[in-house]
């Protein structure tokens, strides 16, 4: 039986002994194979960490590319090397690691982030071994300072302990394995890994996101702990998603393959905008809804803009996948028409019936213990 082999490539940067290999083991939950390779005729070697997973008749290979000693290079060396490497492997993203116990304020990270920015490569700046020293906040602050300088137009946001710079970069800290200090009776569990995986995934382009999810297909903790967020991200009916998330391979098959259960979706190939037949990425797939797909909608008329905002928020909580508010053409300037889309017909009917019952003004609802 022939197999279709696909690759996902990820840049891994940072000094030695900062926990890079421990981090990627925690992310992938796989035994990674280490090897060395030279890039073209360049005398500098690069370390590879790789593993393979099978999906139906396809084999998915993940390769982490780690350049030892890059922190000691000059600016020209880093620019030339990063440029050649990115052109060769078309990475999903770049993960940079620094540890509180060995962190120094150096220029090489600025050069790396600038090079990734030029090539539109997503950057994840990670403080590893967060309990190994007191400087973890210094590491985070320095990461943010660098990103603020590279992306001055972006206002950062924070969610689940992760600082996001739109869809171009993130900053976070993790504890890849259990931390134990017997002298001070300190015991800290693994933390931040699931949130990091999700954070990277949701910021990537859809084709890259699916390749990233294949990389973490064996991480049961991630699929279990982040199931509700994944459900919202993919806008799947909850019942269907709940049947899949416990078995990541089944869930990924649902995403990436044609099946009777995915009649509402079609697979397409993402191609480069340049005049070439080469895909922009070796594992470039995305899922789109066909143009003629059925969407159910509810229409509401409210008497004020403020009430329209509140209603839109409530509808989102009730499962609306999108809503559109426009001013009514009546003489009442405050009247707003809201159209809410639902992918789940049963949920749409339930929301509609509830609104009709409440409109009779004979229902009084309050929250009780």
What burial letters (b/e) apply to 341-358, b meaning 16+ CB within 10 Å? bbbbeebbeebeeeeeee
Within a domain: residue 40? yes
Q: Quick one: 188 and 74 in the same domain?
A: yes
> Which has the closest alpha carbon to 52: 8, 2, 11, 1?
8
Same domain, 359 and 252: no
Q: Summarize pLDDT for 196-224 with one digit per residue, the tens.
A: 999 999 999 988 998 898 899 888 889 88
Q: Determine the Cα angle at 271 with ends 268 and 276, to 5°.
A: 145
Domain presence at residue 269: no
* Structure tokens given for 255: 């995403």
Same domain, 185 and 226: yes
C-alpha span between 36 and 69 (Å, rounded)? 14
**Which residues constitute the domain of residue 157?**
4-260
User: Using CB atoms within 10 A of its CB, is residue 77 exposed (0-12), middle (13-18) or buried (19+)?
Assistant: middle
pLDDT at residue number 212: 93
pLDDT of residue 90: 92
In angstroms, what is the C-alpha Rg of the chain?
A: 24
Instruction: Decide if 223 is inside a domain.
Output: yes
- Cα dist. 267→59, 94, 211, 258, 286 in Å? 18, 27, 14, 7, 6
Global pTM value: 0.68
Name the token pair of 249. Answer: 């391979």
Judge if 246 and 106 occupy the same domain: yes
Written as six digits, the tokens of 343 are: 């992918």
Residue ranges for the chain with pLDDT beneath 50: 1, 41, 258-293, 360
Q: What is the CATH number of the domain that holds 328?
A: 3.30.1360
Cα–Cα distance list, 146 to 15, 106, 161 (Å): 17, 11, 19
Domain CATH code at residue 23: 3.40.50.300
Residue written as token pair 């008497």: 303
> Contact, 10 vs 62, CB < 8 A?
yes
Residues 39 and 100 both lie in one domain: yes
Does some domain include residue 338?
yes
Could you give the number of structural domains in the chain?
2
208 and 290 share one domain = no
Q: Are residues 175 and 301 in the same domain?
A: no
Tokens 């803009």 found at: 305
């Amino acid at each position: 039986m022939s197999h279709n082999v696909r690759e996902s490539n990820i840049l891994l940067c940072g000094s030695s002994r900062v926990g890079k290999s421990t981090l990627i083991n925690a992310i992938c939950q796989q035994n990674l194979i280490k090897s060395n390779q030279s890039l073209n005729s360049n005398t500098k070697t690069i370390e590879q960490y790789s593993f393979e997973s099978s999906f139906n008749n396809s084999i998915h290979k993940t390769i982490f590319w780690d350049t030892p000693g890059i922190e000691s290079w000059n600016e020209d060396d880093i620019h030339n090397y990063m440029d050649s490497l990115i052109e060769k492997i078309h990475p999903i993203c770049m993960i940079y690691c620094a540890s509180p116990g060995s962190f120094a304020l150096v220029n090489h990270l600025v050069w790396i982030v600038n090079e990734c920015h030029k090539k539109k490569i997503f950057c994840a700046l990670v403080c590893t071994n967060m309990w190994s020293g007191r400087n973890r906040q210094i590491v985070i602050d320095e990461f943010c300072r660098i990103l603020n300088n590279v992306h001055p137009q972006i206002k950062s946001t924070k969610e689940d302990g992760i600082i996001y710079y739109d869809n171009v970069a993130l900053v976070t800290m993790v504890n890849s394995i259990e931390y134990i200090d017997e002298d001070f009776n300190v015991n800290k569990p693994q933390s931040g890994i699931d949130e990091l995986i999700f954070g990277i995934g949701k910021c990537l382009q859809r084709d890259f996101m699916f390749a990233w999810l294949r990389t973490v297909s064996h991480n049961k903790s991630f699929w279990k702990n982040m199931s509700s967020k994944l459900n919202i991200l993919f806008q799947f009916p909850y019942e269907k998603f709940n049947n899949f998330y416990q078995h990541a391979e089944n869930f990924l098959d649902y995403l990436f393959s044609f099946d009777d259960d995915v009649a509402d979706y079609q697979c397409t190939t993402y191609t480069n905008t340049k005049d070439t037949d080469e895909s922009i990425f070796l594992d470039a797939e995305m899922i789109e809804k066909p143009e003629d797909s059925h969407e159910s909608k509810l229409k509401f008329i409210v008497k004020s803009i403020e009430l329209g905002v509140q209603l839109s928020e409530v509808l989102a909580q009730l499962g609306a996948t999108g809503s559109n508010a426009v001013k009514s053409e009546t003489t009442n300037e405050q009247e707003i028409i809201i159209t809410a889309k639902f992918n789940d017909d049963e949920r749409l009917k339930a929301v509609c019936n509830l609104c009709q019952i409440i409109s009779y003004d004979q229902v009084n609802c309050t929250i009780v213990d």
